[in-house]
Structure 1
């Protein structure tokens, strides 16, 4: 164990998961003291400064994520912090002392903690002009927005449909698409969000609760030739929206916000796939980063940070809290995601 690690032994407050399925998301979290193990090759130790709650975190807490939940598993998928120790060669030495946006090593460690361990190549140095609360949200949502809109352009889309568009991914996709000249049709479930996204710059914003929603969506989707759906809802929303879109359209499914006991949680129309050439593909940022070359990840990071610094991207924040108020804040976020992110400040308590 290095000198730096021995200093923080028994001081590593962290949130871990309980597998009890009868509990709500926030009730599954237990605050513990964790020892910091010796770093393995390729790993770095981070003093965490801020970490958000994302929909993927909530899904993981409920045991419905792509990673099976385990008792006492560490929680939190992304954040920002200072690299205080490294066992990762020249790159690790270069990172030491730098503020970095990080992704967790799921199954190894989580970032809802005072200190966290992750892979050096999961760390992205952050510009000085981006504050901690925004830097903490650099990876999961903005990178997802950019990657999916870029994929839509690659597929030849001139316009896209975005469901659950009041989410941070949805808002980011609207802003970034507008910058690229790609038109957007956003779908939401409340009139308040219709007004918000119209102001944000979406070309059309439709309320799924309106009785003429399907007709409006079909009209605008065909008028604008919207051939890509960015789908965070899944379940019955996927075939419903695709039915209104032109032949040859593609759904990029990146989430499942629909509450369902179905372990798969998705639906699609076999007839549309066969006769209308409808395609469905998935997107998970962890897979993208895992397959990408280091220069591609750094290029993505620079692009996203430039968009933050120029004001194209900005994460809406509802509350910044320490460990003592975190559970209550999570419950609010679970019910009111469009209010903005909850950010954990681990060093506050």
Structure 2
């Protein structure tokens, strides 16, 4: 990138620090002059992309100048932020909702309040906050947004859990509660059980007295994976090859037929979820890691009356749902505090961002969720 182009990019990104777009700068070209006065943020280091494309090709880490902290703004020093699949999809340009470019990456994280605008009353320096609703621009050392964009969380939990509580654990909680009414003693079935959503579903179901039947892919070390999931509370864990039998329900033993199933894989793995469901059961699809379609037999609709639904957290959190979700987030973080909710993550210093990105892209083998620490 040439020096003139880089300076222009830095200026545009600084001007659009609040929403990841260029529109604020375009509406008010004097913004950079006004920012020279009053309260200012520290300079920030940020992960940016000028265009959509392969993340390892379009991403750059650059320095951004200070921006103005207006009277209702809060300046937050980021502590941790994950690299989620949806973050990668936004950079690639294939996610349904994405910020206009140039943009700062990241959509979730936790930070510590650094400084406040004069009108801010609900937060103090040192408080921990997360973006609520989720918003772009968490892959940077300092973020400035209005007070209403932040939700205060407890500081007595590991930062990596506060940084990741919204996208995955909240998805698990809502899917368990929003489709079929489940009672203690009921059962659910899911594929992708090793994902963070899958791990959370196991633990949240256990807390509610709900049994879980879990499907994992065939892999080296699958027996160790099964044991880890059972320690989290899984009742049964099967590899896909173990389910290549005509009557999978013969494996249930004393467990009830599941009323609800969760699919984040697609293809044959989704078909296995459907085979377990009881009459009138529902399968909820929230991902498609195999990049293969969900295929359903005609008899599943006619004779079993199965329902297929979908869940997308971003849609669920539209409008006023962000405020509704805050007590749920507090509940999930309280479970973390009590040791009742945990999942695998790998912490990576922000300066090693490109290593974390390669791991998140699967270029360096299989790794847990990558969480940047600042």
TM-score in same-fold range (> 0.5): yes
How many angstroms does 1:312 deviate by? 1.0
After TM superposition, the structure 1 = structure 2 runs for residues 71-220 of structure 1, keeping only pairs within 5 Å, are 71-84=101-114, 92-97=120-125, 98-103=127-132, 106=135, 109-118=136-145, 120-151=147-178, 154=181, 158-189=186-217, 190=219, 191=222, 192-210=224-242, 212=244, 215-216=247-248, 219-220=251-252
Query: Which ranges of structure 2 fall in alignment gaps of 5 or more residues?
Result: 1-34
Q: Is the 8 A contact 1:63 1:69 kept in 2?
A: no
With a CA cutoff of 8 Å and minimum separation of 6, indicate the structure with the bigger relative contact order.
Answer: 1
Is 2:364 the counterpart of 1:329? no
Q: Is the 8 A contact 1:272 1:278 kept in 2?
A: yes
Is 2:260 the counterpart of 1:232? no
TM-score (norm 1): 0.81
- Equivalents in 2 of 1:36, 1:235: separation in Å? 48
Q: Is the 8 A contact 1:252 1:282 kept in 2?
A: yes
Q: Is the 8 A contact 1:26 1:328 kept in 2?
A: no
Q: CA-to-partner distance for each residue in 1:42-66, whole Å, 9 max, x for gaps? A: 7643221111122322333333322
Is 2:43 the counterpart of 1:15? no
Q: CA-to-partner distance for each residue in 1:155-178, whole Å, 9 max, x for gaps? A: 669211121011111111111110
What residue number does 1:301 align with? 329
What residue number does 2:279 align with? 247
Q: CA-to-partner distance for each residue in 1:106-149, whole Å, 9 max, x for gaps? A: 4xx31011122446444322212112222212221222222222
What residue number does 1:32 align with? 62
Instruction: Give the 3-state SS of the residue equivalent to 2:334 in structure 1.
Output: helix
- Equivalents in 2 of 1:175, 1:337: separation in Å? 27
Q: 1:280 aligns with which of 303, 308, 312?
A: 308
- Equivalents in 2 of 1:187, 1:181: separation in Å? 20
- Equivalents in 2 of 1:88, 1:208: separation in Å? 58
Query: Which ranges of structure 1 fall in alignment gaps of 5 or more residues?
Result: none
How many angstroms does 1:223 deviate by? 4.9
How many angstroms does 1:279 deviate by? 1.6
How large is the RMSD of aligned CA atoms in angstroms?
Answer: 3.3
Q: Is the 8 A contact 1:46 1:82 kept in 2?
A: yes
- Equivalents in 2 of 1:219, 1:194: separation in Å? 16
Name the count of aligned residue pairs. 333
What residue number does 1:6 align with? 40
